[in-house]
Amino acid sequence: MGLYAEAASAAAPTASSDLGARVYNVRGFGATGDGTTLDTGSVQRAIDACTQDGGGTVLLPAGRFLVGSIEVKSNVTLHISAGAVLLGSGSGKDYHAVDAIPLTGDTTLVDGNWALLYAVRAKNVTIEGPGTIDGQGFQFHSPVRGQLPPSGLGGSKRPYHLLTYQCEGLTVRNLDLVDCAYHSIRVIQSKRVHMDSLYIHNRVNGNNDGFHFISAQYLTVSNCIVMSQDDACALFGSCQNVTITNSTFSTRWSVFRFGGGQVRNVAISNCVLRQVYGCPIKFQGNPGSSYENISFSDIVLDDVTGPIHVGVGPRAPRQAPAGAPPAPVRDDMTSPHPEESGPPAVLRNISFSHIHGNVTTNPGQIDEAKVTSNANAGEKHSCIVFNCVGGATMENVSLSDIHLTFGGGGTAEDGARRDLPEYAGEYFMMGPMPAYGLYARGVKGLTLTNLRFQVASQDLRPALILDRVTDCAINGLSMEADPKAESAMRIRNSRQVLMSAVRLLTPTQVFLAAEGETTERIVIDGGDLSSAGKSLTLMEGSRHDAVRIRS
């Protein structure tokens, strides 16, 4: 046998030589792709055959493939071609609960276990475009509260675009995901998760999240555009080793929302947050939770409320039955919510840098939405908030190179508020904030460098308030203050504060109001306070030696 004949013989395919690399066209399994015939069984058979053969690619060619619940399995790449639409059925009868995903034992899972695509304990799963997944989510929206929507499914039985549970090696890329009935992508307790080059448009129903991650580890999100009705990129539970970058987000609620768990090592950078009416960056750390080593950098904010709210401590007491007195926040620092347990919350080593933009006081309706919502009163006059109460710990917090223009509109009555509720909850629950720029309470180790706060209209609140803050360094703070404001800054029951290169951009009555018997070791070293009628006033028992001003 000649050399070429031997080579040809060696290269001849066998029955198993291409396992793991085959393409399974769903039309070959009976799918019609006509948009009216239900193709669930055909697509599922293609996936089953692919995984049984050791993996490969399940191909959706051009067409509209109408489906209900489908399970994606290990070693399968679901490829939705250009011109192909995976069309979620508008009938609830075509979906089912994923019983392998529990709804008890972990309060982070109670949002439901229904999905268009789902994967449970699968490995090496890829869902890719450049096609489209359309959930027809408006069919799951009830026009009248209390009535079933056209699909017959509502509440927590609405299907997600994609739901995964305890998977490892999940990639979703180069796809359009539109009009989901619930959250678009919900990832629970999964590892090595990668979201890349996705367009999510989810504004046809309540709770229309974009990404919703629960205890995800080794997670990357990059090059995505998310326009959602609810949280655009929620990170709940113990999300760890996370990077999010080069993306644009818009939502009626929050973008980066953190709640509960043991969160570690998160880096978020190079993102545009536009038209965010519900606080772009929001932490709620209740008893048992901790956050450590988190950075936000190079963020552009355009037409947002909030814009940053970090709160750790007990939540507000639940409303008492009619006629009963409200339950107080307990002195032993435990949570007033019986389902919350564990030690006081901890947050440390968190930074915000290179953040620029504008903060509105008039949040409207977000663009291209089929559902509407109204603003809460506290959303209209908010600010950057660091709020640590109830025995929790918040330490080593830094902000640098922050330039924000706030909408203004705060009243003298807002600025006169001293005793805000001693709980950590949603940012709007605290009511109009007493500062227009930054309010910090209970923080230890706060560093503010190169901050510039301005207002677009009259605001009678201080630009910055420190309340029970220890160990604070402020360098290069420029701020506007109204001539009728009580003061440009307020420091209350705080100690070890050093300010340098601080300056007023506009005239006002008083630069600093120092308050409280425990205020001490406040040093103002240089800067330009000449626009203030007085540099300092002492109130509420603050001692004369509490503040030193060095020219």
- Residue 338 has a pLDDT of 42
- Residue 105 has a pLDDT of 58
Indicate if the alpha-carbon torsion angle 415, 420, 423, 425 is positive or negative: negative
Residue 33, judged by CB atoms within 10 A of its CB (0-12, 13-18, 19+), counts as buried
Domain assignment of residue 11, yes or no: no
Distances from the Cα of 219 to the Cα of 168, 170, 320, 339, 550, angstroms: 11, 10, 41, 28, 49
Domain assignment of residue 58, yes or no: yes
Where would I find the H helices in 225-352? none
pLDDT single digits (tens) 327-366? 333 222 233 344 456 899 999 999 999 999 999 988 888 8
- Ranges of residues in the chain with a pLDDT under 70 are 1-15, 104-110, 318-341
Domain count within the chain: 1
Closest CA to 490 of 539, 545, 427, 549: 539
- Residue 337 has a pLDDT of 43
- Residue 332 has a pLDDT of 28
Domain assignment of residue 541, yes or no: yes
- Residue 11 has a pLDDT of 38
For residue 390, give the 3-state DSSP assignment. Answer: coil
Domain assignment of residue 13, yes or no: no
Closest CA to 140 of 117, 110, 160, 118: 160
Do 408 and 455 form a contact (C-beta atoms < 8 A)?
Answer: yes
- Residue 31 has a pLDDT of 97
- Residue 323 has a pLDDT of 41
- Residue 324 has a pLDDT of 38
Domain assignment of residue 539, yes or no: yes
- Residue 146 has a pLDDT of 80
Residues 471, 482: Cα–Cα separation, whole Å: 28
Closest CA to 503 of 523, 466, 476: 476
For residue 542, give the 3-state DSSP assignment. Answer: coil
- Residue 134 has a pLDDT of 98
304 is in which domain, residue-wise? 19-142+155-316+336-550
| 331 contacts: CB under 8 Å, gap ≥ 6 | none
Tokens linked to 33:
């792709």
Q: What is the pTM of this model?
A: 0.91
Task: Give me the DSSP letters along 471-526.
Answer: EEEEEEEEE---TTSS-SEEEES-EEEEEES-EESS-EEEEEEEESTT-EEEEEES
Kindly report the number of other CB atoms within 10 A of residue 3's CB atom: 7
Domain assignment of residue 302, yes or no: yes
Residue 88, judged by CB atoms within 10 A of its CB (0-12, 13-18, 19+), counts as buried
Q: What is the CATH number of the domain that holds 383?
A: 2.160.20.10
Tokens linked to 395:
């330490």
- Residue 106 has a pLDDT of 57
| 474 contacts: CB under 8 Å, gap ≥ 6 | 448, 449, 451, 497, 498, 499, 500, 502
Tokens linked to 518:
């425990």
Domain assignment of residue 200, yes or no: yes
Domain assignment of residue 147, yes or no: no
